[in-house]
Amino acid sequence: MSAGLDYETAGAAWEDAVAAAALLAIDPPGVGGVCLRSLPGPVRDRWVQIARELLPEGTPWRRIPINVSDSRLLGGLDLTATLRASRPVLERGVLAEVDGGLAVLAMAERIEPATAGKIGAVIDNGEIAIERDGLGERIPTRFGVIALDEGAEEDERPVGPLRDRLGCHLDLNGIPVHAAGGSEYTAEDIAGARSRLSQVACTDELVEALCAGGLALGIGSLRAPLQALRAARAAAALDGRDTVEQEDIALATRLILVPRATRIPEAPPPEQEEEEPEPEQQPAEEDQAEEPEEQPDPPEEEQEQQPEDEEEEQEAPAEIPAELVLEAAKAALPDDLLQRMKINELAQRSRSQTAGHAGALQQGGGRGRPAGVRPGAPGGKSRLNVVETLRAAAPWQPLRRGGEQTRRVIVQPEDFRVTRFKQRSQTVTVFAVDASGSSAMNRLAEAKGAVELLLAECYVRRDEVALVAFRGRGAEVLLPPTRSLTRAKKGLAGLPGGGGTPLAAGIDTARELIEGVMRKGATPVMILLTDGRANVTRAGTGGRDQAQQDAQEAARGVRIAGIRALVVDTSPRPRPMGKELADAMGADYLPLPRADASSISSAVQAATGVGR
């Protein structure tokens, strides 16, 4: 949702947001939860307050910090109680405590994939399985999740598996404070709706309409239609009805199906095509009816057609809900959906390849963020984790004491636990820029402007950047990896244009530079800006066919080396050469016809995470 919404649009968006809070309060496990995208502020605080006030008295409400430990999240061994009782004592985790209520996940866009996976597994199974520290317990729990998404950029979102399990996706950015009013519902209304929820029924036609609507919107997960069905039943119960109606389906479509749409639904085929032959067939039937022997037949045909007409009338209502689902979806779909799909797709692929926006994670060592524990003896870079060591030794104390009454804790070498650390390596972005005559004539200026914008973003993140230019008969490293923004701008400003396109030489030079970066333990990213039309071979001679073959071989070398890359086709009219080059390189391909420096920079940032 963009900033600067008019009052009417903002008011409608807020009403839907409040309705989502009410539906979640009625059926937390069924709706799944709410992914609330909003920067911290009074509007978000007001929505969270409403969501909590709507819960009936006694409904659990727990906040989960981003750095929650596994023992606090899932439960585990209570060390103090275990040492006091001389037997394993289970400590309930926050997910067990929130059974039947709502868990609020702070800064959900920064949650670790492992933590999100554990929460998702509990949601799917409806129970917590604890099998460690000498414990073997299964604790049933069903709850909803409010994920507070504070991401400022388009690709800063909670991981996909977590978002898929949250039914409603809301965006409060752009809603002014004066439009964020109160709620027309009360906790008593929610309690009454909860008592009626089990009696609410939904026809098979409406269920099929939700499934068909999800398919038409390009939603691959079956969870979305199921969550939409549960939300529609909750809406009917809130309105005091025992049957789901079309207005409930429309509300569930806006809240659950539309935010997950990946395509605009196609229009149904016109019905006139089926009705066109009928006028042509009628005269023939009338001519046949002129014969005296066939005069008694029409009454029988009419009698036979009557049941068919009745069947058509009975089938008609099954088509109406499906159309309503699509109409409701089209009315709520953003206008720029198709424009954002390509960038979002590249951003999703980028985030699945590497976690976070910085370099790849490096395990081990004595520096970085704690990442759990492992058995092992302390020494060197390994640090003893005293609490986890005592936790491992606690269950064995009765056996080790042999019945003696002593306050000592007997610790043996197999109980030692050392802390594991992880840290992100340095990110180095290598820009390989086509400065040949064809590129200079087309969009070298835009490419240089985009690189300068990206260099500034990398400087803010303290990432290193390098610049390789190829033109004429070869390629050169204009800027080795550096953090100096001044040096980078000087090297870019002095980049001339003209001459042939030694594409293979440019790729080889960038690859060699990146291989040196990889040997130092850094995480490299190659961004190749070119029109893909090579005409200079590796030997520095002319010949377009041989030059294209050399470029393909150089691209395959990048793929074999396992280098993450992005090919930005800067030609005014993208040709197959750019896509073929990206396929051979194993890189993302981004054609950008008629783009300026700002749009190229935004697209590259979304596709690679550079500068975030």
Express each pLDDT in 238-252 by its tens digit: 999 999 998 898 899
- Regarding predicted confidence, which is higher, 158 or 153? 158
Name the burial class of residue 473, with classes exposed (0-12), middle (13-18) and buried (19+) by CB atoms within 10 angstroms of its CB: middle
pLDDT, residue 606, reads 63
- The structure's pTM equals 0.57
**Rounded CA separation 231/216 (Å):** 20
Lowest-confidence segment of 196-200, 324-328, 413-417, 449-453 by average pLDDT: 324-328
Lowest-confidence segment of 48-62, 202-216, 479-493 by average pLDDT: 479-493
Rounded to an integer, the average pLDDT of 398-421 is 78
pLDDT, residue 469, reads 86
pLDDT, residue 294, reads 44
From the candidate CATH numbers 1.20.120.1630, 3.40.50.620, 3.40.50.410, 3.30.450.40, the one assigned to the domain spanning 427-608: 3.40.50.410
pLDDT, residue 328, reads 56
CB atoms within 10 A of CB 444: 24
Q: Which residues contact 521 (CB under 8 A, 6 or more apart)?
A: 362, 425, 426
Lowest-confidence segment of 23-32, 290-299, 322-331, 463-472 by average pLDDT: 290-299
Residue 319, pLDDT above cutoff 60: no
**Max mean pLDDT range (128-132, 362-366, 473-477, 605-609):** 473-477
pLDDT, residue 35, reads 93
Task: Give the C-alpha distances (Å, rounded to integers) separating 460 from 341, 463, 483, 488, 610.
Answer: 28, 8, 10, 14, 11
Band of pLDDT at residue 357, cut at 50, 70 and 90: very low
Phi, psi angle pair for 542, to nearest 5°: -80, 170
Lowest-confidence segment of 439-443, 519-523, 561-565 by average pLDDT: 439-443
Residue 544, pLDDT above cutoff 80: yes
Average pLDDT, the chain: 77
Helix (H) or strand (E) holding 181: none
Residue 309, pLDDT above cutoff 50: no
| Fold classification of 198-263+318-335 (topology level) | Helicase, Ruva Protein; domain 3 (1.10.8)
Rounded to an integer, the average pLDDT of 451-468 is 74
CATH 3.60.20.10 fits 7-184, yes or no: no
List every span in the chain annotated with CATH 3.40.50.410. Answer: 427-608
Q: What is the C-alpha radius of gyration for the chain, rounded to an integer number of angstroms?
A: 32
**Max mean pLDDT range (28-37, 124-133, 333-342, 426-435):** 28-37
First vs last Cα of the chain: how many Å apart? 21
List every span in the chain annotated with CATH 3.40.50.300. Answer: 7-184
Band of pLDDT at residue 329, cut at 50, 70 and 90: low
Phi, psi angle pair for 544, to nearest 5°: -65, -45
Residue 245 CA from chain centroid, whole number: 31
**Rounded CA separation 293/21 (Å):** 70
